[in-house]
Amino acid sequence: MNITELLNLTTWIQQEIVANKILDKYQGLYSALVHVRNRRVGQNYPPFETKKNDLIKALKSIKTNNLTQEQLAFLTHLNIGNYIGKNGVDNVENIFHEDGISVPIHIDKIQHIIRQIDTGINKSNNIKKVLSDCPIQEYELENEVLMRVYFSNNSGIANVTDFKHYGKDWHDIGRGIAMVFNKAPEDIKIVGANKGSVVLDFSLLIEIAGAFATIVFGTLKVIKDVYDIKIKRKELEHLNLDNTIATDALSKNAEKRRKDGVKIIMQELIEKHKLDVNAEQTKTLENSVKKLLNFTDNGGSVDFIEPISADNESVKNLEMRDIVPKIRQLAPKVRELEQKVRLLENKQGQKQEE
């Protein structure tokens, strides 16, 4: 995450958390619960359910769709992310569901959340104060979208050989997608790089960004289905039923889903963007989709950052505002399934050694 993104996140916290009085909503519920604990016999039951519903309504109204993956991760690091939006709603409901009518436990847990959010807001304010005095240079995006590519897991870059391999792959990916819009690979520019696992920032013309988003979302759906099939096959293997027919059939289904998925993604892309492609363009586009599918399947990921002028109609006309939030919701689920597959594979290997 670069400095501009961090500064923008502190502004987002002011707009979504502070301005919407989320801390006050939690405090209201806390106070109502304290009244319940301290009530006298025969005293009317304070309406803490009303305060709880007010809090849940406020948490649901918080919009995180325009935050990048790294901003969302840092929001959790600030001990705010788990207590807002859907995560916050689930957390509050779990407190009352798991602990039944134990009001003292409810009070302790809500008080803990209040302290966490208050500390997180104070940290954010301090970050904003420091960064506001710093000169910040930013790549100006005019009718462009920033795409961030994470070379991680089995799609990571550890040496120059990996660098050469993925450099060629991403040249082919960019060439195939740019070509269907009658653009050149040079129109996809590298404008930044970050430390840690290799992360590259690309600036894309809006129509090309829309195509990338469509493909990335499509690949995530395909990989999710493939992992679901792999999990079923691994679970069947663990039963030791010696049912090779069933396991072979599941393996074939997984491979078929990948092949069919490439065709479906291409068809959806062509129809959605009303592309008129010739034979050569179709071939290069198919190669792009396959390589992007492999990159994602091996653990790489792609995120998108809306331009400053994100309110203009050209962005709205593409499905960027619809697809990008779906990508951010689906990507973690795919990684969870991937981890489950790896866990099942490890268990199977341990059994074979025994």
Tell me what pLDDT residue 82 has: 92
Tell me what pLDDT residue 66 has: 73
Partner residues linked to 183 by β-bridges: none
Tell me what pLDDT residue 100 has: 61
DSSP 224-282: HHHHHHHHHHHHHHHTT---HHHHHHHHHHHHHHHHHHHHHHHHHHHHHTT----HHHH
* CB proximity list for 70: less than 8 A, separation 6 or greater: 1, 5, 148, 303
pLDDT tens for the chain, 354 residues: list them.
677 788 889 999 999 999 999 999 999 999 988 888 887 655 565 568 889 999 999 999 998 877 887 888 899 999 999 999 888 999 999 988 875 667 888 999 999 999 999 999 999 999 998 887 766 555 555 667 888 898 888 888 888 899 899 999 999 999 999 999 999 989 998 887 765 567 888 888 888 888 998 999 999 999 999 999 988 888 887 776 667 788 888 889 999 999 999 999 999 999 988 888 899 999 999 999 999 999 998 888 888 876 544 444 444 444 566 777 778 777 777 777 777 777 766 665 555 555
* CB proximity list for 192: less than 8 A, separation 6 or greater: 2, 139, 200, 201
Identify the helix (H) or strand (E) that includes residue 206.
Answer: helix 206-238
3-state secondary structure of 189: strand
Looking from the CA of 241 toward its CB, the CA atoms found within 13 Å total 11
DSSP 299-330: T-EEEEE--TTTTSHHHHHTTHHHHHHHHHHH
Q: What is the DSSP letter of 156?
A: -
Tell me what pLDDT residue 310 has: 45
Q: What is the CA radius of gyration of the chain?
A: 24
Surface-to-core class of residue 254, CB atoms within 10 Å of its CB (0-12 exposed, 13-18 middle, 19+ buried): middle
Can you tell me the distance from the alpha carbon of 203 to that of 144, in angstroms, rounded to the nearest whole number? 6
Tell me what pLDDT residue 119 has: 96
Tell me what pLDDT residue 159 has: 87
Tell me what pLDDT residue 41 has: 55
Tell me what pLDDT residue 347 has: 62
Of the candidates 153, 150, 148, the one whose C-alpha atom is nearest the C-alpha of residue 298 is: 153
Question: In the structure encoding, which two tokens stand for residue 45, read together?
Answer: 């039951």
3-state secondary structure of 198: strand
Tell me what pLDDT residue 121 has: 95
Tell me what pLDDT residue 323 has: 75
State the Cα angle at 112 between 39 and 62, rounded to 5°.
100
* CB proximity list for 325: less than 8 A, separation 6 or greater: 65
Does the reported pTM lie above 0.75? Answer: no
Tell me what pLDDT residue 78 has: 94
Rounded to 10°, the helix 206-238/320-353 angle is 30
Tell me what pLDDT residue 157 has: 86
